[in-house]
Amino acid sequence: MKLPLKKLLVPIDFSAISLHALDYAAGIAKTTGAEITLLHVYDAPELPKNSAFNISDLIERGINEKINEVKANDKNLYGVTLKTKVVSGKIHERIEEVAKEIKADMIVMGTHGSSGLRKIGKLLLGSNAYRVVNNTPCPIITIKETTKKINFKNIILPIDNSKETMKKVGLAMEWAKAFGSKIHILALTAFFEELVVQIKDLKEQVEEIEELLEKNGIPYESRMIRHQRISESVLSYAEKVNADLIFIVTEQENAIADMIIHSAARNIVTESAIPVLSMNIGK
């Protein structure tokens, strides 16, 4: 089965993590038949208004030459349809704009974590990465580590009892069918949340998801955990089951739940060594 993915957008700055994200996207493209648009965003230097020298053309020519080298030397890209886009401006703004312009179905992006000012010249710090995650019009996979082998066998699906969870389940099922993945349902609750998330309702939500997976022949496991901190529980469990991908939703409607889930989503995106697929249900 093919995922409904026709266009992937991959921001690239030639760092190791962005090239790893490109290989990751190529793995998706080979299964889905999607084309990849490589996006490089650069800072255009300021020149006098009456200057006849067009430095942007020179910069873009050099960048395109470097991109062509990547295409020629990366064997993982063989057989994948590639397009290139080079623009100037603020990276998070340009990613959002280009994603809309090309009608991207998914963004695959390397990030550099949430700390280390020396990384500012590179793709995105964790905080800015989450800014992109929270504003892009399509799902986005963020990748922070190059050491993680590209695989799609085990998917973590953290859930609550909201209707947004079911939107995430649909994409997870399509992903599992396409890649032969196993879904690990992870229901999380805490004492102070039980005014918002009723345990009985959450169990019913788990049972509903299990029934859907069984009907579609998708292997799964279910686990309910009372947590101290959502992000820590999700990441700990993901490491325990050797997860390859974590699915999250980055917006909720309930104001109280939003403070809990929204904060957890941010932490998962910025802290996870495992790739994270984020869906912004508000877009």
pLDDT digits (tens, 9 = 90+) for 209-219: 999 999 999 99
One domain for residues 137 and 176: no
One domain for residues 14 and 128: yes
Q: Is 42 helix (H, G, I), strand (E, B) or coil?
A: strand
One domain for residues 101 and 198: no
One domain for residues 75 and 160: no
Which tokens is 19 given? Answer: 């090239």
Final residue in a domain of this structure, among 115, 143, 171: 143
Q: Sheet holding 245-249: strands in order across?
A: 82-88, 35-42, 7-11, 106-110, 140-143, 276-279, 245-249, 154-159, 182-189, 220-226
Residue 81 belongs to a domain? yes
Identify the band that residue 132 occupies on the pLDDT scale cut at 50, 70 and 90: confident
Residue 18 belongs to a domain? yes
One domain for residues 54 and 182: no
Final residue in a domain of this structure, among 95, 119, 143: 143
Give the range of the structural domain holding residue 220, as residue numbers without chain letter: 154-276
Instruction: Write out pLDDT tens, residues 105-115.
Output: 999 998 874 44
pLDDT at 198: 66
Instruction: Write out pLDDT tens, residues 76-103.
Output: 999 999 999 999 888 888 999 999 999 9
One domain for residues 228 and 178: yes
Q: Are 158 and 230 in contact (CB under 8 A)?
A: yes
| Residue 40 amino acid letter | H
Q: What is the DSSP string of 145-206?
A: -SSS----SEEEEEE-SSHHHHHHHHHHHHHHHHHTPEEEEEEEE-GGGTTTS-HHHHHHHH
Residue 163 belongs to a domain? yes
One domain for residues 132 and 213: no
Q: How far apart are CA 206 and CA 182, in angstroms?
A: 15
Instruction: Write out pLDDT tens, residues 65-77.
Output: 999 999 999 999 9
One domain for residues 177 and 123: no
One domain for residues 235 and 259: yes
One domain for residues 83 and 203: no
One domain for residues 134 and 186: no
One domain for residues 138 and 167: no
